[in-house]
Each structure stands twice: as C-alpha cells, then as structure tokens.
Amino acid sequence: MGNILEVKNVSKAFAGVRACENATLSIKRGSVTSIIGPNGAGKTSLFNLISGAIRPDSGSITFNGTEISKKRPHDISRLGLVRTFQGAKVIRRLSVMENILLAAQDNPGDRLWRVLTPRVRKRFEDQAEERALELLKQVGLESFVDSYAGILSGGQRKLLDLARAMMANPTMLLLDEPFAGVNPALVEKLVEVLQTLKAKHSLTFLLVEHDLETVMNISDEVFVMAQGTVIASGLPDSIYENEVVIDAYLGSRRKSS
Ligand SMILES: Nc1ncnc2c1ncn2[C@@H]1O[C@H](COP(=O)(O)OP(=O)(O)OP(=O)(O)O)[C@@H](O)[C@H]1O
Ligand SMILES: [Mg+2]
C-alpha cells in the first residue's frame, strides 16, 4: 500500500491572494480520497499545483516517490498522474470518437507522429482508436461513438471526460467536480463507472467535489480545505461530525439542504 502522493507545506500566492497556504496531505495508493471546502478554498489551485499547471512558491509534491513540483504537466501525466478540469468542455461539433482521439494526440511523445511514415502512423492511429473504443465501452458511451459530442447530456460529457483522461494510461486521476451539473440518476451511473475503472486499471482517485452525500458514500478518506489550507482530514463519518468542519463549511450546506 503506502502513499502514492505526498503534498507537503505547499504554498502559492497570486498577487497577494493566498490560494494555497502550507497545504499538506497524503493520498493512499488505491484509495478514493476527496477534498471538500467552500468556494475559493484553494481546491482547484491545489490541483493546478499537483498537475504542474502552476508551480508552488514553496513546498514539495512527490508522486510515486518522484518530486514533481517543478515538472511540466506533460511530464507529470506521463508519470501516470492525470487530471480533469472543473467544467471541462467538449468540442460539440466533433464526434465523441474525435473528441477522445484529440486528447490522445495531446499526449507527450506524439510530436514523434510527424516523423513516422504514413503506414506506421496509420497503425498508431488504429491502435489509438481501438483503445478509445474500449474506454468508451467501459464508461458506457459506445453507442455514441459517432454522435456529435454536442448532443451529450452534462453527465454523459463527464463520462467522455473520464474516457479522455484514461487515454493517457493513468495510475492516479484527479477529478475536479466530477458530479457538478450531473442529474442525480447519472451521478449513480458515474459512481459505478468510477468503481469499474478503478478495479480494472488499479487506479487511485483524488476528487474535489461539493456533492457531500456522494463524497461521504464513495470516499475512503476526506480532506477539508479552507482559506488555502487543510483544516481537517479523516474518515467520512468523522468529518461529518467534526465541529471545525461544520463551522467552516458543512453548517451552511446542511442548512441549505
Ligand atoms: N490564476 C489565478 N490568479 C489569481 N488568483 C487566483 C488564480 N487561481 C486562483 N486564484 C484565487 O485563489 C483562491 C482559490 O481559488 P480556487 O479556484 O483554487 O478555489 P476552489 O476551492 O477551487 O473554489 P470553487 O469551489 O469555487 O471551485 C481564490 O481566491 C481565487 O480567486
Ligand atoms: Mg474549484
């Protein structure tokens, strides 16, 4: 077992705004871990730091024992740490298959494609397409392969987004609000798909999510962020009862629900 990801004392400020302030957390290999916290708590910023989109002012981030805090996003995803984006967009006028293949072309190393002979390139493309089809099956979108991505519902777009992320062969996925804008029936389906992918590909999941019921159902461990820092962590039940957490976050959410 052990930890697959270690974030230690990571800080990042933007023109005086402290997006992350000594954020520290460890993620167990093979777990589903969630980060919750109010808007502006620094959750997406932490994902940006982990995935290499931005560099920390200080602190360290290790993935599988490798220091990644100064690496570029492509190099981090090549190590097997892949993220999805809050409110991820699909290209509506391309097919579902084209959307997913575009993601494959973004992959590192694919600059190589240009120097390949047409026949070798074709073979790579066929392999990518085969893999895409297999992943679309695993997320339950196979019947939409040739449909315009624009016809997909919010939840189906999240499924496409998952398949797209899986093209990079991750061992760990960072999902930023995977259930946002998804109707409740599809949330269940999405959870099922996450569990299937996890089992099939031995994945570790780190989620940022506001849907507390789902978070508490699926997480092995929950971290709570407020004002850029981790203020609590533990098993879902203990988080739900934690006074500090209730004050910072859950109180208002419980009242509103
Ligand atoms: N690129 C940036 N430039 C300036 N400020 C930023 C930048 N990115 C984030 N911030 C600021 O950092 C703070 C944390 O934002 P962040 O997006 O990480 O919060 P969040 O926890 O993901 O919130 P939400 O739940 O609303 O998605 C906010 O005050 C935000 O305005
Ligand atoms: Mg966010």
pLDDT the model gives residue 255: 47
pLDDT the model gives residue 1: 67
pTM of structure? 0.90
Give the CA distances from residue 112 to residues 53, 63, 81, 169, in Å, rounded to whole numbers and listed in that order: 23, 26, 22, 18
> Over 70: is that where the pLDDT of 257 sits?
no
The answer for residues whose C-beta is within 8 angstroms of residue 14's C-beta and 6 or more apart is none
Q: Please give the domain boundaries of the chain with CATH numbers for all domains.
A: 3-256 (3.40.50.300)
pLDDT the model gives residue 89: 82
pLDDT the model gives residue 236: 94
Rounded to the nearest angstrom, the distance between the alpha carbon of 202 and the centre of ligand 2 is: 26
pLDDT the model gives residue 123: 80
Query: What does the alpha-carbon distance between residue 40 and residue 63 come to, in Å, rounded to a whole number?
Result: 25
SS3 content of the chain, % helix, strand, coil (to 5): 45, 25, 30
pLDDT tens sequence across 137-180: 999 999 999 999 999 999 999 999 999 999 999 999 999 999 99
Of 11-20, 35-44, 78-87, where does mean pLDDT reach its minimum? Answer: 78-87
Residue to mutate (ligand 1; options 12, 17, 57; most atoms within 8 A of CB) = 17
Backbone phi, psi, residue 148, to 5°: -60, 135
Give the CA distances from residue 50 to residues 10, 59, 81, 119, 256, in Å, rounded to whole numbers and listed in that order: 10, 11, 9, 38, 32
pLDDT the model gives residue 245: 79
